[in-house]
Structure formats: C-alpha cells, structure tokens
C-alpha cells in the first residue's frame, strides 16, 4: 500500500483538515465520540451543538454533504431497530399520533439515532480526510501495537484485492453465458468462492515470502517521519474540547 493509494471513502482535497497530522485527527475523533457517548439523552441541545460543529468541519474540509449522507446509510439497520424500541420498552405509556408507546422507549430511540448518526459522521469525516496509509501511520505514532496496525493494513488491502478478483470472476462467468441469480444455481457460486479463497491464500503466501526476502521483520518502514506540530495539536483539540465542555455541562444540568 503506497502512500498514494486512495480508498472509496477518501475525498481528495487540500483543506486544513486534510493537512492535519493523522495522529492528531485520530485522538480528536476518539475524544469527541467518547464525549458524545457520555452525553445524557435528555440533553437534546447538546446533540444539536455536536451536529453543528461536525457540519462546520465538513464544510471546512470541502467534503460534499451528499457524500456524507450516502455513507450514513450504513447506520440504517441501527435506526430501524431504534424505531422498534418505543413499542417493546416498558414504563410509562404516552400516545403519539394515536399509538401508545413507552416514554422511556422514545428517549431510547432518540439516544440510539443521535449517537449512532454522530459517531458514524465522525468516522466518515475522518476517513474522507485521511488516507488509509496515513491513518495507519498515525496509529503507529500513537503506539498502537505493531501487529494490530499490520493486520489492519493487510486486511484493507486484501479486501480490495479479493473484491477485484471476485468482480473479474463474475465478468468471466457472464462472458461465457452464465449469470446465476437463483438459489438452485448456488453451486457454481460456491465453487467460485472456493477458488477465490484458494487464490487469495496462495497470493498471501507469495506476498509474505517476497516480503521476507526483502527484509520484512513485522513492521513496515516509516517513509514519512513527519509528526504533528504543536499548532496541529491545538487545531485538532478544538473539536474534542468543545465536545468535552458540552458533555460536562449536559451532565451537570440534566
């Protein structure tokens, strides 16, 4: 994975957020999400502040709103579950458009929707402004164990390779006049999956042997030794400090 390898969640821009050191962005994102998680669900105003702050960062980073909204679809299963909570939760019942639901369930629904949406938006913004090699380098700077960063690096790369190989196999099957779509046509799909697994396993062995022959000892060389400056840490701290202050005020006043 070279430094120029981009991923589908990355938006190539030259904003101040893009230029921040990855380790500063990782720490800021973690603290901000932690503050959001600690915020009482009844403090609706706090979540509006979080949303406004995230919106400002997305605007500064020149990340299209449509890009963020499209990738927020990943939280739809959680939101779908959240809408069931008012009907299955116990406690005081209230009527909403003529339907009796649990008051605690409504607050639980709001809690899940708000925190899941904000957390996912933070992750999307981080990925949109930080390439994967840079993110992994930032993890290494933050002293995340080397085996974890290596596993993450190879996992991301091999997911892309496997997806590409699967696409080529599908094209080859279609070009030969076979396009299975039904359950009783699952056997060729299973055979293709088995062949794909074997190819991926053999490719991994060849790549590992090639890396060992070139002196790989468990860690990738750090070709970019730039570290976050004091100014970058201060700029990155704006969001988590805001999140921490809002969370503390919400905890005290709610």
Q: Is the pTM of this model over 0.85?
A: no
> What integer pLDDT is reported at residue 184 of this predicted model?
65
> Burial of 144 by CB count in 10 Å (0-12 exposed, 13-18 middle, 19+ buried)?
middle
* The token pair that represents 49 in the structure block: 């502040």
> What integer pLDDT is reported at residue 24 of this predicted model?
92
Q: Is the dihedral of CA 193, 199, 200, 202 positive or negative?
A: positive
> What integer pLDDT is reported at residue 163 of this predicted model?
77
> What integer pLDDT is reported at residue 182 of this predicted model?
67
**Residue 208 neighbours by CB distance under 10 Å:** 12
pLDDT means per 10 residues in the chain (254 residues)? 58 88 92 94 93 94 91 85 79 76 84 92 92 85 81 77 78 74 69 79 83 77 74 90 93 88
Asked whether 5 and 133 are in contact (CB, 8 A), the reply is yes
> What integer pLDDT is reported at residue 179 of this predicted model?
67
In the chain, the N- to C-terminal Cα span, in Å, equals: 48
> What integer pLDDT is reported at residue 2 of this predicted model?
43
> What integer pLDDT is reported at residue 239 of this predicted model?
92
Annotate the chain with three-state secondary structure: CCCCCCCCCCCCCCCHHHHCCHHHHHHHHHHHHHHHHHCCCCCHHHHHHHHHHHHHHHHHCCCCHHHHHHHHHHHHHHHHHHCCHHHHCCCCEEEECCEEEEHHHHHHHHHHHHHHHHHHHHHHHHHHHCCHHHHHHHHHHCCCCHHHHHHHHHHHHHHHHHHHHHHHHHHHHHHCCCCCCCHHHHHHHHHHHHHHHHHHHHHHHHHHHHHHHCCCCCCCCCCCCCCCCHHHHHHHCHHHHHHHHHHHHHHHHC
**Residue 149 neighbours by CB distance under 10 Å:** 19
> What integer pLDDT is reported at residue 223 of this predicted model?
64
């Amino acid at each position: 994975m070279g430094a120029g390898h981009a991923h589908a969640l990355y938006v190539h821009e030259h904003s101040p957020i893009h230029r921040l050191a990855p380790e500063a962005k990782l720490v800021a994102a973690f603290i901000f999400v932690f503050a959001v998680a600690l915020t009482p669900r009844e403090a609706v105003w706090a979540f509006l502040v979080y949303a406004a702050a995230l919106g400002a960062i997305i605007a500064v980073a020149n990340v299209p709103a449509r890009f963020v909204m499209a990738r927020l679809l990943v939280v739809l299963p959680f939101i779908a579950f959240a809408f069931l909570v008012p009907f299955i939760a116990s406690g005081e019942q209230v009527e909403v458009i003529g339907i009796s639901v649990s008051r605690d369930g409504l607050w639980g629904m709001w809690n899940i929707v708000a925190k899941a949406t904000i957390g996912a938006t933070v992750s999307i913004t981080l990925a949109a402004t930080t390439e994967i090699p840079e993110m992994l380098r930032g993890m290494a700077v933050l002293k995340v164990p080397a085996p974890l960063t290596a596993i993450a690096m190879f996992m991301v790369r091999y997911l892309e390779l496997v997806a590409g190989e699967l696409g080529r196999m599908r094209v080859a099957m279609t070009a030969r006049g076979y396009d299975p779509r039904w359950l009783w046509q699952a056997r060729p799909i299973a055979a293709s999956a088995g062949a794909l697994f074997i190819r991926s396993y053999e490719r991994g062995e060849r790549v590992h042997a090639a890396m060992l022959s070139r002196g790989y000892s468990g860690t990738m060389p750090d070709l970019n030794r730039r570290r976050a400056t004091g100014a970058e840490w201060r700029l990155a701290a704006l969001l988590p400090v805001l999140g921490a202050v809002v969370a503390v005020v919400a905890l005290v006043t709610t």
